[in-house]
Structure 1
Amino acid sequence: SLGLWALLPAVTGAPTNRRTCVFFEAPGVQGSTKTLGELLDAEQGSPRVIRCLYSRCCFGIWNLTQGRAQVEMQGCRDSDEPGCESLHCDPRPRAHSSPGSTLFTCSCGTDFCNANYSHLPPPGSLGAPGFQGPQADPGESIWMALVLLGLFLLLLLLGSIVLALLQRKTHRVRGGPEPEPDSDRYWSEELQELPELCFSQVIQEGRHAVVWAGQLQGELVAIKAFPPRAVAQFRSERAMYELLGLQHDHIVCFITAGQGGCGPLPSGPLLVLELHPKGSLCHYLTQHTSDWKSSLRMAVSLAKGLAFLHEERWQHGQYKPGIAHRDLSSQNVLIREDGSCVIGDLGLALVLPGLSQPPTWAPTQPPGPAAIMEAGTYRYMAPELLDKTLDLQDWGTALRRADVYSLALLLWEILSRCLDLSPDHRPPPFQLAYEAELGSAPTTCELWALAVDERRRPYIPSTWSCSTT
C-alpha cells in the first residue's frame, strides 16, 4: 500500500454527482489529461485532485521496474469504459515500456480510488496462468458480501417488475407497435429500390459493410452493402456523402443510395459509388512499384483530397464544413486510372466546428468526448488517440492533426515502393506502416508502447535523403 489516503485533502464543495480523482503526471510523460476535468486547489504537500467533466471514472498508471513501482499518471477518464464499475484500483499489465519494465493501469469508479493500489504482481508472474490480479485484503470480505447481497435483492426486485409488465401486456388490446428507428420497415420506406442494379463480385469486406463491383444502368459502379443491423452506420456515411459541395477529384464520387431486392444477394441499405478497378492503395502497392513521378502523383493527390476534406469553404453559394476522416488507411484510399488517389470510406468521418457556418445550416449535435476519441484502424492512429490525450478543448484542430499523422504513414508506404529511392532500383516487398516492427496484426498495447512510449516511427532508409530525384 502506498499510504496516500491520509494525505488527501477534504473535498471542499465537490458536487455529489461529479467524480473526484487524484491527479498526477510524471515529468516527461507525453500528453496530458488536464482537459478532462477541473483541477482543484490542494494544500502544500498533498496530492492534487481533479473533478471529472466527462465521466465518473478515475484511472492510474504505474511503472514497475525491478520490483519498484513509480506512478506515471493519475486523473479522470474521458468516458465510462469497461472496468470503471470497479470500486477499487485493481491494476492490470498494459504494456512493456522497456526491457525489465511493465506498465500497469487501473480504472475505478469511486472518489480518490486511483490514489492507491493493493497489490502488483512480481515481475516473474506476468502472463503466468496463476496470476489473478490484485488480492483483496481480508477486512474487505464482509463488505463485499453485503454488496453482493444488495445486488441480488436489486435483481430480484427488477425481475418482479419485468414479470408484472409482461403480465400486464398480455391483457392489453392488441395493436400495431410503433416501428423502431432501425427496423427493416423504417429504413426500407425511406430508400428507393434499384431494380437495374446488378451485383458482380465482392471486392472488399469490412466491419459494417461488404463492397461489391456491379453495374447500374450499364455503368460500372461500386456497391457498399450494409446489413440491416448496421443501418446507423449506413445513415451516417450517407449523410456525409450527401453534404453539399463535397464533390472533388480526389474524394470518391457518390452516385445514389437505395436498397437491394429479394433473393440471396444483399437486401439491406446500399451506397452506390464510383468504381475504381485498380483497387485500394494497399493492393496496388503490393502488386506494383513506381517511379518518382508516379509516386509523387499519388502523394500529392492524396494530400489534396485530405486538405479539401479538412477545409471549411463556400463555393458557388454552397457551404461545405470541415470534415475529419478519422480512418485514413491504405485500404480506404483507391487508385484512379491516371494513377492518382481518391479518398473513400467516410463511415467514421466527423463534421468539425466551423467559423463561417451560415445561420440556416444546422449541423448535428456536438459529439461527446467518447465519440470524438473514436477512430478507425489502430495501425494509423495518432499517438494522442492511442493514449487518449487528444486536446478536447480544440478537438477540431486536434482531429485534423490526427488525420495528417495518418497521411504521413501513407506517404511512407507510397515512397517505400518507389524505384528511384532504392539504390539498386529494387524496392523491398510492400509492408504496411509499422509492419516491420510489429507484424501484420499489432495490438493497441504494442502500438502504444512503440509510437507513444518509445516515440518511434517507421524506418526511413538513408537512401531517401541521399536521392537525387
Structure 2
Amino acid sequence: MCLKMGSLRLLQLLLLIFNMYSGIQSLICYCDTCDNKQCETAGFCYTSIIIDTSNKETRMYSTEEEHVDSKCEDQILPGKYTFDCSLDNEKPNIYIDKTIRYYKLCCNTKNCNKDHVIRGLLLPGGYEEPSVFSPWQPWLLMVAVLAAFVLLLSVVLFAVICLWHHRQNQDRSGRYTSSFPDIESVFDRPEVPLMGPHTPIRGIIELTSSGSGSGLPLLVQRSIARQIHLVDIVGKGRFGEVWKGRWRGEFVAVKIFSSRDERSWFREVEIYQTVMLRHDNILGFIAADNKDNGTWTQLWLVTDYHENGSLFDYLMRYTVDTAGMIHMALSISNGLAHLHMDIMGTEGRKPAVAHRDLKSRNILVKSNRTCAIADLGLAVRYDASTDSVDIAPNNRVGTKRYMAPEALDESINMSYFDAFKRADIYALGLVFWEIAIRCNTGGGCEDYQLPYYDMVPNDPTIEEMRKVVCIDRQRPTIPNKWQSCEALRVMSKIMKECWYHNAAARLTALRIKKTLANLGAQEDIKC
C-alpha cells in the first residue's frame, strides 16, 4: 500500500515538473476555499464525497495544492486519512469508517470536478460499494442464528411429541400382535363360505377364533368397534359409561373408559384375552379399541348386550320363584368356578382367576334368566409356573359393602392366591342373600335390599364395615320363614358357609356349584 502511494506521489510530482517546464498553462479547478470558487493548479482537481448513515451526501472540492498542503484536509476528511488520485469514476477510492463512507476522485480538465459524477454510486449495475459497518451487525447475526436454532429445536420437539402421541394411541389398543386379517377381508375369503355381511357376532367368533376361547383376533376386534353405532346410554360408574350400541343389526354393550382409566381398561381387556376364559356364565367379550376424537381418547370395551341389565337392576324390578332362584345362583357359581379353575388345554393353559369385586351390580341377567359375571377390571391371575399372583397395577379397591373380613382388617395375604378366591366366596354368599330375599314362595317376599342395609349407611366407610363384619361379626339377617322352604333352607346353609369369619373354612365355588346342581335336579321341591 505504501509502495503504491509513493508511486502515485512520484507520478504527480513528475507531471507537475513536466507542466512547469513545458509551459503548459495551469489547470483551473472548482474549489470551496478559493476566491470566486476558482483555483489554479498544476496538478489535478479533486472531489470528496461524504455519505452518512442517513444517506445524506456532502461534497467538497479542492485542488492538488490544497491537498498536498493539507489546507482542506480536515474539511474534506477529518482524521489521518491520505488519499490517492483515482481517474476511474466507476471505481473511486473508498474509505469506510464506522458510520460514514468517503469517496475521493480526481480529474485533469478545467472545472471538471464541479459536476463530478460517480457512475457506480448513482447508476445501477456499476461499482458495488461496500456495506456500511455497524456495531449492531454481530449482535443481529447472533440473534438470527439463535432464532434459527430455537425454531429448529421447536420443530424437532413438535415432531417427537406428535410421534410419541401417535405411538401411544397405537399402544392403547395394539399391545397384542396378530397376524389375522381384517374382518372385511375375512368376509371375502372363499374358504369361509358361511361368513358374510350378515353373519352374527357369535358366528364370527366361532369362525375366526383361534380356538383358544380368548375371543376375536385383534384386527377383527378393531374393525367391529369402528363400525358400532351408539344408541343409548344405559349406565354410569366410577370407570366411565356403558352404552347400548348396534353393529349390523345386533345390539352390543360398549363400556367407555376415559383416558385417565387406561390401566383399568387395559387390565380388563387383558383378562378377557386370557386363554379359554370364554364361558356362558362370564360376560362375552367381543372387541377392544380406542377412539380419538381430537380432544381426548376414549377406550372402548365391547361385550355382549343383555337387556335385563345387572342383577341389582333386575331384583329391584322383579321377584323370582324357587326354580328361578336356584337357576340364577347355579349360573353365578358356575361362572365363578370357571374363573377360579386352572385348566390345561390343547391351546394352552388357562390360569386361575379371582374376581375381587363380585357384587350384584357386576353380574348381568341374560334373556333366559341365567347370569353372567362381568367387570374383570380388578381380577388377579395365578401363574402356576412361577407360583406368583398377577395383581392389577391400579389404585382401585373392591366395593366396601362386599369386602371379606380379612380384606377389611387388612390381614389378607396378598401373595397367596387362594386368599383372593375365598374373598370371592364371601361376596358370593352376599349375592345369594340378595336373590333369596326376592324369592316369592307364595306367601310374599321381602323388598329388595342390599346386604347390611339395616346395619350401615348407604355409602359405608371401611371403618363402619370393619366394625360390623370384623368386630361385631354380624351377617345379613336370615328370616325364620326360610326354614319352611327346602330350597331357601339349602340356600341359607350355603350362605352361612360362605360367610365364615375363618376364610379357610369357606366353601369352594366348585362345591357350591355341585350342591346347587343337585338341588336344582330335585323335582319335588315345595315351599
Normalised to the residue count of structure 2, the TM-score between the two structures is: 0.50
Deviation at 1:197, TM superposition (A): 0.6
Structure 2 counterpart of 1:409: 430
* C-alpha spacing 1:403/1:187, structure 2 compared with 1 (3 Å): same
**RMSD after superposition:** 3.0
Secondary structure at the aligned position of 2:164 is classed as coil
Alignment partner of 1:428 is 2:438: no
Q: Give yes or no for contact 1:295–1:418 (8 Å, CA) kept in 2.
A: yes
Distance 1:386 1:195 in 2: 42
Which of 467, 477, 480 aligns to 1:449? It is 467
Deviation at 1:447, TM superposition (A): 0.5
Match of 2:291 in 1: 260
Contact 1:328 1:403 in 2 (8 A): yes
1:185 Cα deviation after fit: 6.1
Matched, 1:187 2:172: yes
Give CA deviations for 1:48-98 in whole Å, capped at 9, x if unaligned: xxxxxxxxxxxxxxxxxxxxxxxxxxxxxxxxxxxxxxxxxxxxxxxxxxx
Maintained 8 Å contact 2:308/2:365:
yes
> How far 1:206 sits from its partner (Å)?
1.4
Q: AA paired with 1:397? A: D
Q: Does the aligned pair in 1 maintain the 2:380–2:389 contact within 8 Å? A: no
Shift of 1:416: 0.7
Contact 2:468 2:474 in 1 (8 A): yes
Q: 1:237 aligns with which of 268, 274, 282?
A: 268
One-letter amino acid of the counterpart of residue 400, structure 1: K
Question: Relative to structure 1, is the Cα distance of residues 180 and 449 closer, same or farther in structure 2, using a 3 angstrom cutoff?
Answer: farther
Q: Contact 2:169 / 2:290 at 8 angstroms: preserved in 1?
A: no
Give the corresponding residue for 2:141: none
Match of 2:341 among 311, 315, 339: 311
In 2 relative to 1, CA 454–374 (structure 1 residues): closer, same or farther, beyond 3 Å? Answer: farther
Distance 1:367 1:436, change over 3 A: same
**Secondary structure of 2:287 counterpart:** strand
User: Which residue number corresponds to residue 316 of structure 2?
Assistant: 286
By relative contact order (CA 8 Å, sep 6+), the higher-ranking structure is: 1
Report the Cα offset of residue 288 of structure 1. Answer: 0.6
Cα distance change, pair 306–336 in 1 and its aligned pair in 2 (3 A): same
Q: Which amino acid aligns with 2:440?
A: L
Aligned residue for 1:331? 361
Provide the residue aligned with 1:204 in structure 2: 235
Q: CA deviation at 1:267?
A: 5.2
In structure 1, runs of 5+ residues without a counterpart are 1-168
**Ranges in structure 2 where 5+ consecutive residues have no aligned partner:** 1-148, 176-217, 487-525
Q: Does 1:173 align with 2:158?
A: no
2-side partners of 1:353 and 1:189: how far apart?
A: 24
Structure 2 CA distance for aligned equivalents of residues 183 and 207 of structure 1: 24
2:440 is matched with 419
CA offsets 1:289-316 (integer angstroms, 9 cap, x no match): 1110000000011011101000001234
Asked whether the 8 Å contact 2:381–2:390 carries over to 1, the reply is: no
Match of 2:279 in 1: 248
Task: In structure 1, give the amino acid aligned to 2:285.
Answer: F
Evaluate the alpha carbon distance shift between residue 272 and residue 372 of structure 1 in structure 2; reply closer, same or farther with a 3 A threshold. Answer: closer
Match in the other structure for 1:301: 331
- Aligned-residue identity in percent: 33
Shift of 1:261: 6.2
CA distance in 1 between counterparts of 2:448 and 2:425 reads: 22
- 2:153 counterpart SS class: coil
Matched, 1:398 2:378: no
**Paired residues, number:** 288
Letter in 1 for 2:287: T
* Matching residue's letter, 1:433: P
Q: CA deviation at 1:217?
A: 2.4
Counterpart of 1:350 in structure 2 is 380
Shift of 1:383: 0.7
**1-side partners of 2:276 and 2:321: how far apart?**
34
Q: Which moved more, 1:313-322 or 1:458-467?
A: 313-322
Contact 2:264/2:394 (8 A) holds in 1: no
How far did 1:377 drift?
0.8
Letter matched to residue 402 of structure 1 = A
Give secondary structure in 2 for the equivalent of 1:417: coil
Asked if structure 2 preserves the Cα contact closer than 8 Å seen for 1:373 and 1:390, the reply is no
Equivalent-residue separation in structure 1 for 2:321 and 2:294 (angstroms) = 47
Q: Distance in 1 between matches of 2:428 and 2:299?
A: 30
